[in-house]
Amino acid sequence: MGLSLKVPGVKVPGASGLSADALRAGVLELVILAAHLLVYPVGIRPERPAPGPDTAPRPPVLLLHGFTDNRSVFLLLRPLLAAHGQRRVEAVNYSPLTTDLRTAAAALAQRVEDVCARTGQDRVDLVGHSLGGLVARYYVQRMGGDTRVRTLVCLGTPHGGTRVAPLMDAHPLVRQMRPDSDVIRELRLPAPGCRTRFVSFWSDLDQLMVPAETARLDHPDLATENVQVTGIGHLALPVHPAVTAGIRQALDGLAGHRAAPADSTSAA
């Protein structure tokens, strides 16, 4: 199923047409980047999970950041999900020294088991931004994580591999995000009986996804919903109000009904 989510951008005087959309998205990306650099230090240290059982009516949510980032990227999304969804929300940092996506996926598996043991819940929901979505998908699809994960929401995740920034191939994680990598090939393999529901938000103006459609998730064995976002770039996906509303609806199981905010439109 495909949905379309149109969000307003930053107004740029004198701009018009498709180039105006790209310019507005670029300005917004710069603003978000500047703000994120200010709060980045807040997310360097791992958080201390809250002890005790979980009495919330919905499964806990784990948030997983992207390449070279940390949990501070979810500074706005996290309280929104907790307040509106009546659920426990935790943000996960994987080591900045990680050189293999599979290692990060194994660490995620341990964290999920820890959350289930602490909260008394059998299943969780995951939200992954960029590489974080790929790590979460690998855990779900290739490591049996579908027994624990009810819904996985991906934001600007290179499901088909991205060709952006070829000069960054020196980093192993970047190489694993290429279309011809072993990880991407593994994720194309059959996954019969996978029990997790996938919702993938992708933007036509995401400059880190090359081509932009690589952030769509299309797999014959997976229950998938793709939400096309127009008008914003990669960094805006975890923070833009229109998208965060869509994420809340996806976790509530409503993504296939309405796209969320007042200025959104849906299409089958």
Give the pLDDT of the chain (268 residues) as one tens digit per residue: 556 565 544 333 344 455 788 899 999 999 999 999 999 999 999 888 877 777 788 899 999 999 999 999 999 999 999 887 678 999 999 988 999 999 999 999 999 999 999 999 999 999 999 999 999 999 999 999 999 999 999 999 999 999 999 999 999 999 999 999 999 999 999 999 999 999 999 999 999 999 999 999 999 999 999 999 999 999 999 999 999 999 999 999 864 433 333 233 333 3
Residue 56's pLDDT is what? 81
Question: Within its chain, how far is the Cα of 246 from the centroid?
Answer: 12
3-state helix, strand, coil in the chain (%, to 5): 40, 15, 45
Task: Give the domain CATH number at 198.
Answer: 3.40.50.1820
How many other CB atoms sit within 10 Å of the CB of residue 46?
13
Domain with 145, as residue range(s), is 2-9+18-251
Residue 7's pLDDT is what? 58
Angle at 192 between CA 113 and CA 217, to 5 degrees: 80
Residue 3's pLDDT is what? 66
Q: How many residues does the chain have?
A: 268
Total structural domains within the chain = 1
E strand or H helix that includes residue 124: strand 124-129
Tell me if 92 is assigned to some domain: yes
Tell me if 256 is assigned to some domain: no
Which structure tokens are listed for 164?
């952006």
Tell me if 42 is assigned to some domain: yes
Q: State in Å, rounded, how far the first CA of the chain is from the last one.
A: 6
pTM of the model: 0.89
Task: Collect all residues with Cβ–Cβ distance below 8 Å to 34 and sequence separation of at least 6.
Answer: none
> Distance between CA 169 and CA 45 in Å, rounded?
27
Q: What is the dihedral of CA 7, 11, 14, 19, to 10 degrees?
A: -40
Residue 5's pLDDT is what? 62
Tell me if 264 is assigned to some domain: no
Tell me if 268 is assigned to some domain: no
Task: Collect all residues with Cβ–Cβ distance below 8 Å to 191 and sequence separation of at least 6.
Answer: 141, 219, 221, 222
Angle at 247 between CA 186 and CA 70, to 5 degrees: 65
Task: Collect all residues with Cβ–Cβ distance below 8 Å to 30 and sequence separation of at least 6.
Answer: none
> Distance between CA 235 and CA 150 in Å, rounded?
25
Residue 18's pLDDT is what? 56
Tell me if 258 is assigned to some domain: no
Tell me if 257 is assigned to some domain: no
